[in-house]
Homo-oligomer: A and B are copies of this chain.
Amino acid sequence: MSRAYNFSAGPAALPESVLRRAQEEMLEWHGAGASIVELSHRGPEFMQVAVEAEADLRALVGVPDDYAVLFVGGGATTQQALLPLNFAAAGQAADYVVTGHWGRTAIRQAAPYADLRIAASGEIDGFHSIPAREAWRLSEDAAYVHITANETIHGVEFRDVPDVGDVPLFADFSSSIASEPIDVTRYGAIYAGAQKNLGPVGIGVAIIRRDLLERVGQPRADIFDYRLQLANGSMLNTPPSWNWYMLGLTVKWMLAEGGVAEFARRSAAKSTLLYESIDGSGGFYRNQVDSAARSRMNVPFFLHDDALDQPFLEEARAAGLISLKGHRVLGGMRASIYNAMPLEGVQALAQFMREFQQRHG
């Protein structure tokens, strides 16, 4: 087949122009005599790539100067372990608000390093809503409060920044960074794996209020130390340079397309269309997430009869719509509609869903 509309949750679709650029430069980058994936991370070629990627990411997300930007290998899960190591004293309280699978994952990474407290959890509700801020039980002595801004599997998203007072708010923005304006100043730290909205798999970013980097944290290897990473330009060791380069190309593409304001507009249009298709199906498709908490990025949905799951996936593939199978934790279907997914892809999915229902309803 030719290139399909790819609804994968991550690794996810990349803009075709980014892939074509990477393809053109695969044998040689800008007359350097070698591909960027073959050149030293400390040489002038990659340094240019790295510096531009940071400047562009700062411009795209709106990162103030008093926040550091780090590029981190190993994924967002690794960062979930690094947060308490860097920002909590051993055994210090840390408050976690759990709104889905990835909140639980964050807890497992932090548990060895902090007095981990569940300030609120949506589990009792099947993770169909965001627990009301009034019901959170926050610790006065917490090192930080942790939220998952968007839950990739359960499809719930914070629509507002919760007020947690003077305690720094840490947020996993893996699946929604750069999809709408963020007021970075409301957060102590924002982190994200890149493989959803920022482009390629294999690299992540951390945006950290600089004063927090003065915290002592806990005994840890150099490689786990954000301060040392910052002092070394995110190159304490060899970084995933090709992935960094691809992130840079993707960020440049987002800036050229109009930035986060434009992607917020597109995300609203795409997600509205998809939820309307589900809600208007008379129960043939369903999504149970509270409308106030529905993710604009990840839309899980279920067919009224799971015997139709396999035909749905097969017929969708035949129609050029791939990676719609839900995460094994939930089953069913999931359409991830990150920045690289055009409205036309969601329109094609909505049309396919109507036709599938006509054939099988």
Residues of A within 8 A of B (CB): 1-4, 6, 8-14, 16, 19-20, 22-23, 26-28, 31-35, 37-43, 73-78, 80-81, 108-113, 193, 195, 200-203, 219-224, 236-243, 246, 317, 320, 322-323, 328
Contacts and interface: CB of A to CB of B under 8 A. Distances in A.
B38 A13 contact: yes
Contacts of A220: 81, 112
Contacts of A19: 26-27, 35, 37
A77 B239 CA distance: 11
9 contacts: A4-B33, A11-B238, A11-B241, A19-B37, A26-B26, A33-B320, A37-B201, A39-B323, A112-B219
B33 A2 contact: yes
Contact of A77 (B11, B20, B109, B237): B237
A22 B246 CA distance: 14
Nearest to A10: B238
**Chain A facing B: main interface SS:** loop
Contacts of A34: 3-4, 6, 8, 13, 322-323
B240 A202 contact: yes
Given A28-B2, A34-B4, A75 B237 contact: yes
A22 B4 CA distance: 19
Would you list the 7 A-B pairs with minimal beta carbon distance, nearest first?
Answer: A202-B240, A4-B33, A74-B74, A81-B221, A77-B237, A23-B26, A109-B221
A6 B26 contact: no
A224 B224 CA distance: 11
A195 B20 CA distance: 24
A35 B4 CA distance: 10
Contacts of A37: 11, 14, 19, 200-201, 246
A65 to B, nearest CB: 28
Nearest to A200: B37
Contacts of A201: 37, 41, 238-242
Contact of A9 (B40, B77, B81): B40
B38 A236 contact: no
Contacts of A28: 1-3
